[in-house]
Structure 1
Amino acid sequence: MAVVLLLNSNGEERDHVLRRRIMDASNPFELDDLKFVSNFRLNKRAFKYVLDELSIEIQGGTSLSIPPILMLASTLRFFAEGGYQFGVGKDATLKMSQSSVSKCIKIVLNKLEVKLGTKWINFKLNHEEKEEMRLHFFEKFGFPGVIGCVDGTHIAIKSPALELRHLFYNRKGFHSLNVMIICDHKMRIRFVDATHPGATHDALAWKVSAARSHLLQQYTGTELRNNWLLGDAGYPLEPWLMTPFRSPVPGSIESKYNIQLSKARNINERTIGLLKNRFRCCLKARQLHYSAEKAAQIVNVCAALHNICIFFKVQDCENIDVEDRNESLLMDFDADENENTHLNEAQNARDRIAALF
Structure 2
Amino acid sequence: MFEVFFFLYSNNILILIITFSAPFSRRKVVAFVLLLDILRRRGGRRRRLHWVHPLNQRRRQQGYFYHLVAELRLDSQRHQQYFRMSAEKMDELLSLIGNELTRQSTDNRSALEPKQRLAVALRYLASGDSLISLAFSYRLGHTAVINSVQMVCAAIEKTMVNRYLPRLTTDTWREVAERFWEKWNFPNCMGALDGKHIMIQAPPRSGSHFMNHEKTFSIVLLALVDADYRFRYIQVGDFGRTSDGGVYAESDLGVGMANGTLQIPQSISLPDAAHLGNVPHVMVGDAAFPLKPYLMRPYIGQNLNRKRRIFNYRLSRAKRVVEDAFGILASRWRIFYRRINLHPNNVNSLVMAACSLHNFLLAPSENVTLLMEAEELGRKMAPVRNMGANRASREACGVRATFATFFTSPEGSVSWQDRMVP
Q: Unaligned stretches of 5+ in structure 2?
A: 1-48, 268-279, 409-422
CA distance in 1, matches of 2:336, 2:105: 28
| Counterpart residue identity of residue 348, structure 1 | G
1:250 has 2:304 as partner = yes
Q: Deviations over 1:53-102 (max 9, x none)?
A: 111324564786110001000000000111411222343xx432323211
Q: Helix, strand or coil for the counterpart of 2:318? A: helix
Residue of structure 2 aligned with 1:289, choices 322, 332, 341? 341
What's the CA shift for 1:271? 0.7
Which runs of structure 2 are paired with 1:181-196 in the superposition (5 Å)? Answer: 181-196=223-238
Moved more, 237-246 or 181-190: 237-246
Contact 2:293/2:396, CA 8 A, preserved across alignment: yes
Superimposed CA distance per residue, residues 229-281 of structure 1 (whole angstroms, 9 cap, x where no aligned partner): 10111111112211112226334312221121112101111111111111111
- 1:96/1:224 Cα in 2 relative to 1: closer, same or farther (>3 Å)? farther
Q: Name the residue aligned to 1:28.
A: 69
Contact 1:29 1:36 (C-alpha < 8 Å) held by counterparts: no
Q: How far off is 1:22 after superposition?
A: 4.5
Answer whether contact 1:233 1:332 (CA < 8 A) is retained.
yes
Structure 1 residue 332 displacement after superposition: 4.3
Query: Which structure shows the bigger proportion of residues in helix conformation?
Result: 1
Distance 1:39 1:301, change over 3 A: same
1:96 aligns with 2:140: yes
Cα distance in 1 between the residues matched to 2:194 and 2:162: 20
Distance 1:149 1:322, change over 3 A: farther
TM-score by length of 2: 0.72
Compared with structure 1, are the counterparts of its residues 219 and 119 closer, same or farther at alpha carbon in structure 2 (3 Å cutoff)?
closer
One-letter code aligned to 2:254: R
TM-score by length of structure 1 reads 0.84
Comparing 274-283 with 30-39, which one deviates more in the overlay?
30-39
Q: How far does the alpha carbon of each residue in 1:180-204 deviate from its partner, in whole angstroms, 9 at most, with x for none?
A: 1111111011111111011001111
Say whether residues 1:279 and 2:333 are aligned partners.
yes
Matched residue type, 2:240? G
Check conservation: 2:198, 2:381, Cα contact below 8 A.
no
Pair 69,262 (structure 1): closer, same or farther in 2 beyond 3 Å: same
Aligned to 1:86: 132
- Work out whether residues 101 and 152 of structure 2, in 8 Å CA contact, stay in contact via their aligned partners in 1: no
Are 1:37 and 2:89 matched, yes or no? no
Q: Is the 8 A contact 2:245 2:386 kept in 1?
A: no
Q: Is residue 125–residue 335 contact of structure 2 (8 Å, CA) maintained in 1?
A: yes
Q: Is the 8 A contact 1:219 1:240 kept in 2?
A: no
- The residue type paired with residue 57 of structure 2 is V
- Distance (Å, rounded) in 1 between the aligned partners of 2:262 and 2:358: 32
> Which residue does the alignment assign to 1:266?
320
Residue 49 of structure 1 aligns with an amino acid whose one-letter code is E
Mapped pair 1:302 → 2:347: no
Contact 2:180–2:187 (CA under 8 A) maintained in structure 1: yes
Q: Which residue does 1:177 correspond to in 2?
A: 219
Cα deviation for residue 20 of structure 1 reads 4.3
- Asked whether the 8 Å contact 1:269–1:325 carries over to 2, the reply is no
**2:99 match:** 56
Q: Which has the higher contact order (CA 8 A, sep 6+)?
A: 1
| Residue 109 of structure 1 pairs with residue 109 of structure 2 | no
2:168–2:262 Cα contact (<8 Å) kept: no
- Cα shift readout 1:144-175 (whole Å, capped 9, x = no counterpart): 2111111010111001224x231111112211
* Equivalent in the alignment of 2:383: 327
Instruction: Work out which of the residue numbers 197, 201, 204 in structure 2 matches 1:154.
Output: 197
Which SS does the other structure have where 1:355 is aligned? helix
Distance 1:291 1:208, change over 3 A: same
Give the superposition deviation at 1:142: 3.5
Tell me if 1:66 matches 2:112: yes
In the alignment, residue 153 of structure 1 is paired with which amino acid? K
Partner of 1:5: none
C-alpha distance in 2 between matches for 1:130 and 1:222: 7
Aligned amino acid, residue 178 of structure 1: V
After superposition, the Cα gap between the structure-2 partners of 1:124 and 1:62, relative to the gap in structure 1 and judged at 3 Å, is farther
User: What is the Cα deviation at residue 221 of structure 1?
Assistant: 7.1
CA contact (8 A) 1:203 1:335 kept: no
Q: Which has the higher strand share?
A: 2
Per the TM alignment, residue 296 of structure 1 is displaced from its structure 2 partner at its CA by 1.3
State the percentage of identical aligned residues.
Answer: 21
Higher mean C-alpha deviation, range 142-151 or range 58-67: 58-67
How many Å separate the matches in 2 of 1:104 and 1:62?
A: 15
Number of equivalenced pairs: 336
Distance, in Å, in 1 between the alignment partners of 2:112 and 2:103 is 14
Distance 1:279 1:240 in 2: 32
Given residue 119 of structure 2, which amino acid in structure 1 is its aligned partner?
A
The answer as to whether partners of 2:79 and 2:87 remain within 8 angstroms in 1 is yes
CA-based RMSD: 2.8
Q: Does 1:212 align with 2:254?
A: yes
Q: Secondary structure at the match of 1:148?
A: strand
